[in-house]
């Protein structure tokens, strides 16, 4: 099992790879509908998991130099009844991110943070379809985040975060190696 410290260190390593003052924002995957009232089994976006350890759908990570927080999704009464409450304390315990904000407060804070930024790092762009030849579609969460960021962001340019994450994830630390051995 990966520890909170593993995720904290991953975020710190990422901060060291981006330009000072850069703002990072990345989303978890969304649930995908399987049939009328069921979803496919959930699998978290790998980069989001690498940075947080959080397995909850639709959570958003926002981080900059020394500040970080998670935004939990809006949930209807029906979603809460059938899916349960989102446990903020558990999310904070797993990720090591102590600020877990509700949807409105989180996005208000993001709006203030992005002002005057030159760069916002995210998984960009967010294609709807990977290839025109096959029928392989991406999870809509990333596309939805990019759409929202374009509405809320004033002057910053979007930078693709994938090169930095690929570089970080290529080297496995002992904790990751132990988990891989256990899985094998």
> What is the C-alpha separation between 176 and 164, in angstroms, rounded?
18
Residue 149: CB partners within 8 Å, gap ≥ 6?
25, 120, 122, 158
Residue 67: CB partners within 8 Å, gap ≥ 6?
113
What pLDDT does residue 19 have? Answer: 86
Q: Do residues 59 and 29 touch, judged by C-beta distance below 8 A?
A: no
Residue 19: CB partners within 8 Å, gap ≥ 6?
118, 119
Confidence of residue 127 (pLDDT cuts 50, 70, 90): low
Rounded percentage of the chain residues whose pLDDT exceeds 90: 72
Average of pLDDT values for 65-72?
95
What pLDDT does residue 20 have? Answer: 86
Average of pLDDT values for 23-27?
97
Confidence of residue 155 (pLDDT cuts 50, 70, 90): confident
What pLDDT does residue 83 have? Answer: 83
β-partners of residue 23 are: 120
- More confident site: 127 or 118: 118
Q: Do residues 52 and 22 touch, judged by C-beta distance below 8 A?
A: no
Confidence of residue 138 (pLDDT cuts 50, 70, 90): confident
Confidence of residue 177 (pLDDT cuts 50, 70, 90): very high
> For residue range 47-66, what is the model confidence (pLDDT) as tens digits?
999 999 999 999 999 999 88
**Mean per-residue pLDDT over the chain, rounded:** 92
């Amino acid at each position: 099992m990966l520890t909170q410290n593993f995720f904290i260190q991953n975020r710190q390593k990422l901060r060291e790879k981006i330009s000072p003052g850069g703002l990072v924002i990345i989303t978890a995957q969304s649930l995908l509908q399987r049939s009328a009232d069921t979803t496919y089994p959930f699998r978290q976006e790998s980069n989001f998991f690498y940075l947080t350890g959080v397995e909850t759908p639709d959570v958003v990570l926002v981080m900059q130099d020394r500040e970080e927080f998670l935004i939990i999704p809006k949930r209807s009464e029906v979603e809460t009844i059938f899916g349960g409450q989102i446990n903020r304390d558990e999310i904070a315990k797993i990720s090591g991110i102590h600020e877990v904000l509700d949807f409105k407060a989180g996005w208000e804070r993001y709006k203030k943070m992005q002002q005057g930024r030159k760069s916002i790092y995210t998984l960009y762009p967010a294609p709807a379809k990977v290839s025109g030849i096959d029928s392989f579609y991406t999870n809509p969460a990333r596309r939805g985040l990019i759409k929202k960021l374009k509405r809320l962001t004033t002057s910053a340019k979007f930078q693709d975060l994938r090169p930095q994450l690929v570089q970080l994830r290529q080297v496995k630390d002992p904790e990751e190696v132990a988990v891989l051995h256990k899985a094998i």
